[in-house]
Structure 1
Amino acid sequence: MAERNSSVVSASGRRKSVAQEPVTSVLKDGDVPYDPDHEWNADEEVLAALGYKPEFKREFNLWTTFCVSFAVLGLLPSFATTLYYGMGYAGTAGMPWGWLIAMVGIQCVAASMAELCSSMPTSGGLYYAAAVLAPPGWGPFAAWITGWSNWLGQITGAPSVNYGTAAMTLAAASISNPSYVPQNYHTFLLTVFIMLIHGCMASFPTRWIAKVNSVGSTFNIIALIIVIILIPAGTNRESQGLSRFTPSSEVWGTIYQGTAFPPGISVLMSFIGVIWTMSGYDSAFHLSEECSNANVASPRAIFMTSAVGGTFGWFLQLPFAAYLTQVLPQKLVLAVLALTIIAGFAMGQGCMIAASRVTFAYGRDDCFGTFPSKYIKHVNSRTRTPVIAVWFNTTIGCALLLLIFSGPIAIGALFSIGAIAAFVAFTTPIFIHVFFVGHRFRPGPWNLGRLSMPIGATASAFVALMVPILCLPSVTGDALAPALMNWTCLVYGAPMLTVVVWWFVSARKWFKGPKVNVEHMMLGRDASIEGTEVKSDASSTGSHGPGKALEGEAAGDLKASGL
């Protein structure tokens, strides 16, 4: 029974063991998990080799996984809410050039992340990868830092997006009725209402979630195309005595120095809009345990989301730059707002789904402590989704929204951590892969080949440059007041400092990183599986270091991780 259930048929028709799947395993001493009462399919074999039992229905595919990621990307609402940074810091020329430059670094991050996802397709995602790739003894700490940074970005994602959607909805109401002035409690109540709707939607069965996000992302793409066409078609610049287009030299050639720093730094500072917008593609990583053919479909979805989003985003900003001084007729303004609001609603729902899977994965490994984790990691038996994790996040998100009553500085400071928290988490396992593991990394079927190291190094360098840049204020000296201060370093640094202190005081004693939660067996040296010799010659490096790749045909041209 053990031999039958711990093997699959390879492409050549020969049986191979779980340990020979093209993934990196964290199992100690080459342990291979297996369930004597369950026949593993290919996706379950891969997940089992990573130390986890299947708990979700795999009802996502490449398209529906891409749809969730693209919904989280939310180009139209993201661009609308971050336009200030591009225009205010670097002007029209900074937008198209800045987007192109930033997308080089962002696409490198996405490609390197996709490679990790193919090797380790788990809902823990980056946190899991950091634990596996870290040097011996450092796995739990690497997972702890990566996980909490990622969670900070995830937990503020849905409330920040829904806050923007509520604000745009009330703005549309005030345009239609000039006598109406939105109040803080209006914004709070509407945002909480949207959060509750998204909490219900994220608790649906996986099949329903996939269908809803497919519709939402299709609408997102259509809305983008409509807005790109609508802005130039509805311009009234000529009626104002202006040329129909802003001169090309102004759009492409004049860097507006909107900060106290040199033009080059101003352009780099304008990247915050691009980075905040282009930070949702990791959702495909977190949905990999619900995706069929996960170690191929999920990395493809990551790469596609970044590439398609970056391309659409660049074309989206051109009308804004070319028609900067126009005033659209009220009906067209309301039409653009309506499209943006609907896209924002879909984006918030996607954020809620992704965040719940991250919270579930961390609860599964007791990242929140033993007591809350035992509830958070529960999967609803009817929907087969992490319902408690969904409502745990919803409750925290609604509590964070109370900062609306503290004014725009407080709520803005809270949500500014999204970009920096996400990209620190994105790049930590990539950095470890490049500078500590190198060519010993054991890739999955979707990989970058010889380009893996240079692309990973470029991604790491890009984020290392941008983290301090994103913390700079737009003004300096006597002009710097609390209202103009960039509070990102505080609102991100303070929680992360707390997390580090928590680690050294307490967490290092009980948090051991990703753990095996299935019954497993030890494949002895020279064990025979269905007539195929499998040598379990892995050397242990603690519960977080991958063992050597097993010998045999299935290893192919994959390189052993060997840590």
Structure 2
Amino acid sequence: MDSGEKRLNELGYKQELRREMTLFKSLAITFSTVTMFAGIPLYGPSLLYAGPASLVWGWVVVSFFTWFIGIAMAEICSSFPTTGSLYFWAAHLAGPTWGPLASWCCAWLETIGLIAGIGTMAYSSSQVLQIIILLCTGTNKGGGYLASPGVFLGMYVFFTMIWAILNTFALQVIAFIDMISIIWQLIGGSVLIVLLPLVALSTQPASFVFGHFELASESTGISSKPYAIILSVLFSHFSLLGYDTAAHITEETKGADKNGPISILASIFIVSLYGWMYVLVLTFSIQNFDYLYDVNNETGGAYVPAQILYDAFHGRYHNSIGAIIFLVVIWGSFFFGGLSSTTSAARVVYALSRDDGFPFSSIWRKIHPKHKVPANAVWLCATICIIMGLPIIKVNVVFTAIISICTIGWVGSYGVPIFARLVMAEKNFKAGPFYLGKASKPVCFVAFLWICYTCSVFLLPNLYPIEWKNFNYAPVALAVCLTVIMLWWILDARKWFKGPVRNIGSDQNGKV
């Protein structure tokens, strides 16, 4: 028997999903969820807050602490290779007394974060496609077409539905597409990293990239240097997110107790390295810093990375073809990321429904009879994502809010099992092939503190003075969601939700 399936049986679950994913396929799906260019929409605002130095070095700092989270999660994943992943880990690590509450909180944070993650990819895909169309039709200066809010929303919905349709087929289809994704991003990203500085007519000096710090108080309303630095690093926080996808597909991965941790750590390594190189290349290739944000420039001041690409290629070749090609590469990474995010979100909804923790669980835990995928859960996630994006038609800060909700929910769900692992007695932990030994507690402690910090900074206002048009409504949305979830727990769910439910070797109540 496969080692992952054997461990799954020990935990009380029978093998229902097809276990046919190799290490490379698992890594491909995980890497596609993280995506090399995930945080690029935040590059412009982050650069504006405090200049290039805080952005460049902020990536290094965030990458360093992300490794603590990844290593802590890899150890737990090796011990608990289940589709329920984070909330399943929380239930077992927190023990019989606190397990149900820990599992409940983790499951809902994870669900909120993952579904919002689909929204971030749909928005980012639409945003890049909007700029591609603008450059193809003549640029902002030349009368090019810039999509209206209604058309933009239509793109958002279209991408979400395409990902849902593709996820309705067998996971092997997604795995094949994501193998294309990892090749697409690595080759495309590598070419961009090498080519962009060579094409640019001039490059910024190293002193500017690594040492220039400048507040943009007139644009952001922020005059505090520490506050500006914190906001400039949000780009890195969001970029290094999603590596838990490997855990969500462990029941479909061969040797998941070994390959799950490898996929988690390998995806962090690739994105940490390539992402930083991409940040450096973009920043070195800036031609005119102030012109990047001019609403009358070729991209309408709407997408700073696109303007950097345009300035470089148009300056050298007097056309925008090169910029468009590389924007297609970036768009592809978002498309693949949305596809994988949908895969991951649906698995969490399915696993939670399998344990009767989701409203109308009997519907969402159904498996497609032919393709063996949770098709109903896929379409539920897509529907919620579309509803979340409807304010695009009227409000300009939707993307900021969705990113904040995504990051807080997603990273917050990491914190629950890691904290439980930190406080549990070592003798109660059944180690898998990847085991930290005495280093486990210090690693989990640093990881948990960093998670708390990350969740806090995404609740902060992004611009001053605070007005309706720039209001970060993520704290309000999260407060409403979490209040409903906790009231549901106190008034009802605590009476029947006991955490993961065994489907083999169960007692008469079917509980673990």
Distance 1:69 1:42 in 2: 21
Matched, 1:482 2:444: no
- Residue aligning to 1:17: none
- Residue aligning to 1:174: 134
Structure 2 residue corresponding to 1:58, chosen from 12, 19, 35? 19
* CA positional deviation for 1:365: 0.7
Matched, 1:212 2:177: yes
What pairs up with 1:359-438 in 2 under 5 angstroms? 359-369=349-359, 372-438=360-426
Amino acid at match of 1:516: R
* CA positional deviation for 1:519: 4.4
- C-alpha contact (below 8 Å) 2:4/2:81 kept by paired residues: no
Amino acid at match of 1:249: S
* CA positional deviation for 1:349: 0.6
Matched, 1:355 2:345: yes
Look at both structures and tell me which one has the larger radius of gyration over its CA atoms.
1
What pairs up with 1:262-277 in 2 under 5 angstroms? 262-277=224-239
- Residue aligning to 1:102: 62
- Residue aligning to 1:114: 74
Deviations for 1:400-449, whole angstroms, at most 9, x for unmatched residues? 22221122124532342111111110111101111244564222111222
Matched, 1:251 2:203: no
* CA positional deviation for 1:93: 0.3
* CA positional deviation for 1:85: 4.0
Structure 2 residue corresponding to 1:512, chosen from 475, 484, 498? 498
Aligned to 1:45, the other structure's residue is in SS state: helix
Structure 1 residue corresponding to 2:282, chosen from 320, 324, 333? 320
* CA positional deviation for 1:114: 0.8
- C-alpha contact (below 8 Å) 2:35/2:333 kept by paired residues: yes
Aligned to 2:192, the other structure's residue is in SS state: helix
What pairs up with 1:329-344 in 2 under 5 angstroms? 329=314, 330-344=320-334
* CA positional deviation for 1:150: 0.6
Aligned to 1:137, the other structure's residue is in SS state: helix
Q: Which runs of 5+ in 1 are unaligned?
A: 1-39, 237-243, 523-541, 545-563
Distance 1:462 1:419, change over 3 A: same
Amino acid at match of 2:188: A
Distance 1:214 1:248 in 2: 36
* CA positional deviation for 1:202: 1.0
Matched, 1:491 2:477: yes
Distance 1:475 1:346, change over 3 A: closer
- C-alpha contact (below 8 Å) 2:209/2:284 kept by paired residues: yes
Aligned to 1:87, the other structure's residue is in SS state: helix
Distance 1:543 1:255, change over 3 A: farther
Distance 1:521 1:502, change over 3 A: closer
Matched, 1:291 2:253: yes
- Residue aligning to 2:152: 187
Matched, 1:308 2:287: no
Aligned to 1:138, the other structure's residue is in SS state: helix
Distance 1:441 1:420, change over 3 A: same
Amino acid at match of 1:203: T
- Residue aligning to 2:4: 43
Distance 1:172 1:187 in 2: 13
Structure 1 residue corresponding to 2:29, chosen from 68, 92, 95? 68
Normalising to structure 2: TM-score of the pair? 0.88
Identity of aligned residues (%): 26
- C-alpha contact (below 8 Å) 2:238/2:403 kept by paired residues: no
Distance 1:352 1:482, change over 3 A: same
Moved more, 279-288 or 42-51: 42-51
Distance 2:479 2:425 in 1: 28
Distance 1:230 1:393, change over 3 A: same
- C-alpha contact (below 8 Å) 1:202/1:209 kept by paired residues: yes
Normalising to structure 1: TM-score of the pair? 0.80
Amino acid at match of 1:44: E
- C-alpha contact (below 8 Å) 2:34/2:240 kept by paired residues: yes
Distance 1:108 1:511, change over 3 A: same
Structure 2 residue corresponding to 1:469, chosen from 457, 463, 466? 457
Deviations for 1:147-198, whole angstroms, at most 9, x for unmatched residues? 1011001112122211221221122112221342311221122222222221
Q: Which runs of 5+ in 2 are unaligned?
A: 138-142, 289-310, 315-319
* CA positional deviation for 1:309: 0.8
What pairs up with 1:226-237 in 2 under 5 angstroms? 226-236=191-201
Amino acid at match of 2:10: A
- Residue aligning to 1:143: 103
- C-alpha contact (below 8 Å) 2:81/2:251 kept by paired residues: yes
Amino acid at match of 1:301: S
Q: Aligned-pair RMSD on alpha carbons? A: 2.0
Deviations for 1:75-115, whole angstroms, at most 9, x for unmatched residues? 22x13212034312231101221111111111111110111
| Structure with greater helix percent | 2
- C-alpha contact (below 8 Å) 2:94/2:420 kept by paired residues: yes
* CA positional deviation for 1:231: 1.8
Distance 1:420 1:47, change over 3 A: same
* CA positional deviation for 1:44: 2.1
Distance 1:268 1:443 in 2: 37
- C-alpha contact (below 8 Å) 1:103/1:310 kept by paired residues: yes
* CA positional deviation for 1:484: 3.2
* CA positional deviation for 1:501: 1.2
Distance 2:385 2:122 in 1: 10
* CA positional deviation for 1:207: 2.2
Distance 1:471 1:407 in 2: 18
- C-alpha contact (below 8 Å) 2:400/2:472 kept by paired residues: no
Amino acid at match of 2:205: P
- C-alpha contact (below 8 Å) 1:93/1:255 kept by paired residues: yes
